[in-house]
A and B are shown apart, each in its own frame.
Chain A
Amino acid sequence: MNEFVLALAALMIFPGGAFVLASGLAFEWIDRKLVARLQNRLGPRWFQPLADLVKLLAKEEIVPDGVHAGLFKGLPVVALAGALTAGLYVPIAGVAPAFSFPGDLVVTIYCLSVLTLCTGLAGTNTLDRFSFVGAIRTLTQLFSYEAPFLLALLSPAILAGSWQIAEIQEYAQQHTLLILLTLPVSFAIAIIGLMGKLELPPFDAPEAETEIVAGALTEYSGRGYALFRLGRDVELVIGLTLISAFFLGGLANPIEFLLKTLGLLVVVALLQALFARLRIDQTVGMWWRVGAALGLLQILLLVILKGLGLL
C-alpha cells in the first residue's frame, strides 16, 4: 500500500507534478529576467510568472464559435499532461528519476512533442486566420527541428549503449570528458533544438507578435492559455535537465542540478537576445541543411569509433 502512496507522492508532489510546475515558473522568471538584463532592462519581479498564471486562471475562458468546444478545452490539458509525463523519467532536482525503464528516452522525447502537436491542433481548430497560419508555422517548425533534436539526444544513448535515461546519466557521470570531446556538435544541436521546440527567439516565427498576433494561440484566453504557457515552462525545465544530464556529466545532487541547468539557461538566454527572428523558410532551411546533416555526421562518427572498438 505504501509504495502506492510513495509512487503517488512521487507523481504528484516531489519529482513529479507540483515541483516541476514550481520549477517551471521559477525557470521562466529567470529566463525573462536574464533576457531583460541582457537588454539592459530591469525585467519582471520574482513572482511575475505566478501572477500571470493566477490572473489567466481567473480570467473567463471564451470559447469562440465555429470551434469544436471539447477539443478547444481538452487540448491545453493534454498538452500540459504530455509535458508533465515527460518530467517523470528525467532526473529532476538531481534525484533519481521517479520512474525509469529501458527505452524511456524515446518516450520522453515524444512526450515533449505532444505540446507542440496540441498547439498546432489548437490553431487549426478555430476559424481565425492568424491561428490558422500560426498553426501551419508551428507544425512546419516541429517537423524541421524534430529530426536533428532526436539525433542529438540519441548520440550519447548510442555511446552509453542503452536507451534508459538513468543509465545514460550514469555513463555520462563516469565519462563526462569523453562525451564532451566526441559529441560537442550534438550538444550544440540539442540546445538549439530545445530553443526551436519552445519557439524561443530567433525561432519564434510561429508566434511573431508583429505579424500574426499570438500565432496558434490567438483565440485562447484564460485557463486554456495558462495551461499552454505552463506546459511550455515545464518543457523548458525538462529540456534543460535532459541536456545537462547527458552532456554535462549527469546530475548527482540538487546543487549540481541547479548549477548546470542555470548555466545552460544563461546560454539559452544569451542566444535569445542575440539574434533577429528567422523567417519560417529560413528556419526550416537551416534545420534541414545544417542540423540534420551534422546530426547524422555525429552519429556516423560514433558508429565508426564504436566499430573500431575505440570506445
Chain B
Amino acid sequence: MRFGSKSIGAMFGEVAGALFKKPVTEQYPFERRPVQDGYRGRLVYDPTKCVGCQLCVKDCPSEAIHLIILDKSAKRFVIRYHVDRCTYCGQCVENCRFDCLSMSSDLWELASTDKDSFTLYFGSEEDVKLVLSKAAARIAMGPSED
C-alpha cells in the first residue's frame, strides 16, 4: 500500500507472494543440501605416497594430526587424526608435496555420541592394528601420557 513517499507495509507484495511459493526451509536430515565440490570435509590419507616428512604435523594450527613412524625405510606410517580438534583449514593438504592428504567433500556429517570415535587411525590395515594393539597394551600397563 503506497501513499506517495509514505507506505504502510512496504513488503506487502513480497510477503503476500510468499504464501504461494514453496518455503525455503530444508527438512534436514530428510532433504540434504547439495554440498559444493571442493568443500573441506574430513581428512583422507593415502599411506602409499607418504614419505614421513611431517610437514603436515608441524603446521597444523590445532595439533590435530600426528605421524606414528613404524618403519621409515619401508615407508610404513600411521596417522592419528583427531576429528574434534581439526579446524578443517586444509593447511596440511597445502603443505604435503606428495599429495597423500586430501579433504573429502562428502564426509562432513561427523557428529557422534562417543568421544573416542573422534580419534581415527589411517594407514594400511596391519599397521593400524599394530598401533592399536600397542596402544591397548600400554593402557593395560597403566596410565601413560599419550
Are chains A and B touching directly in their complex (CB below 8 angstroms)?
yes
For A133, the chain B residues whose CB sits under 8 A away are none
Q: Are B9 and A36 in contact (CB under 8 A)?
A: no
* A25-57, CB < 8 A from B: 34, 36-43
Q: Are B23 and A41 in contact (CB under 8 A)?
A: yes
Main secondary structure of the interface of A (DSSP, over half): helix
Q: Are B9 and A40 in contact (CB under 8 A)?
A: no
A39 to B23, CA, bound (A): 8
A271 to B11, CA, bound (A): 11
A212 to B35, CA, bound (A): 39
A39 to B25, CA, bound (A): 11
Q: Are B18 and A38 in contact (CB under 8 A)?
A: yes
For B11, the chain A residues whose CB sits under 8 A away are 273-274
C-beta contact mask, B1-36 vs A, less than 8 Å → 1, else 0? 000000011011001101101011101000000000
C-beta contact mask, B26-69 vs A, less than 8 Å → 1, else 0? 01000000000000000000000000000000000000000000
Q: A274-B11, A275-B9 are in contact. Are A37 and B16 (CB under 8 A)?
A: no
A270 within 8 A of B: yes
A40 to B14, CA, bound (A): 10
When the two chains form the complex, which single residue of B12, B19, B27 contacts A37, counting CB atoms closer than 8 Å? Answer: B19
Q: Tell me, rounded to whole Å, the shortest Cβ–Cβ distance linking A70 to chain B.
A: 44
Which of chain A's residues has its CB closest to B21's CB?
Answer: A40
Q: Are B23 and A36 in contact (CB under 8 A)?
A: yes
Which of chain A's residues has its CB closest to B24's CB?
Answer: A40
Q: Are A273 and B27 in contact (CB under 8 A)?
A: no
C-beta contact mask, A260-277 vs B, less than 8 Å → 1, else 0? 000000000011011100
A270 to B25, CA, bound (A): 20
The interface size of chain A toward B, counting residues with CB under 8 Å, comes to: 14
Q: A274-B9, A275-B9 are in contact. Are A39 and B15 (CB under 8 A)?
A: yes
The interface size of chain B toward A, counting residues with CB under 8 Å, comes to: 13
A270 to B15, CA, bound (A): 8
Which of chain A's residues has its CB closest to B12's CB?
Answer: A274
Q: A274-B9, A275-B9 are in contact. Are A41 and B15 (CB under 8 A)?
A: no
A39 to B18, CA, bound (A): 7
A275 to B11, CA, bound (A): 9
Q: Are B27 and A42 in contact (CB under 8 A)?
A: yes
Q: Are B25 and A41 in contact (CB under 8 A)?
A: yes
When the two chains form the complex, which single residue of B12, B15, B16, B25 contacts A42, counting CB atoms closer than 8 Å? Answer: B25
A41 to B25, CA, bound (A): 6
C-beta contact mask, A263-305 vs B, less than 8 Å → 1, else 0? 0000000110111000000000000000000000000000000
Question: Which has the most chain B C-beta neighbours within 10 Å: A38, A40, A270, A275?
Answer: A40
A274 to B14, CA, bound (A): 10
For B16, the chain A residues whose CB sits under 8 A away are 38, 270
Q: Are A273 and B15 in contact (CB under 8 A)?
A: yes
A38 to B21, CA, bound (A): 9
A40 to B12, CA, bound (A): 13
Which of chain B's residues has its CB closest to A266's CB?
Answer: B19
Q: Are B23 and A43 in contact (CB under 8 A)?
A: yes
For A41, the chain B residues whose CB sits under 8 A away are 23-25
10 additional contacts (CB under 8 A) given A43-B23, A273-B11: A37-B18, A38-B16, A38-B18, A39-B18, A40-B21, A40-B24, A42-B25, A42-B27, A274-B12, A275-B8
Q: Which residues in A have some Cβ–Cβ distance to B below 8 Å? A: 34, 36-43, 270-271, 273-275
Selected A-B contacts with CB under 8 Å, 16 pairs: A34-B19, A36-B23, A37-B18, A37-B19, A37-B23, A38-B15, A38-B19, A40-B21, A40-B24, A42-B23, A43-B23, A273-B11, A273-B15, A274-B12, A274-B15, A275-B9
The 10 A-B residue pairs with the shortest CB-CB distance in the complex, in nearest-first order: A274-B9, A42-B25, A40-B18, A42-B23, A38-B15, A273-B15, A41-B23, A37-B19, A41-B25, A40-B23
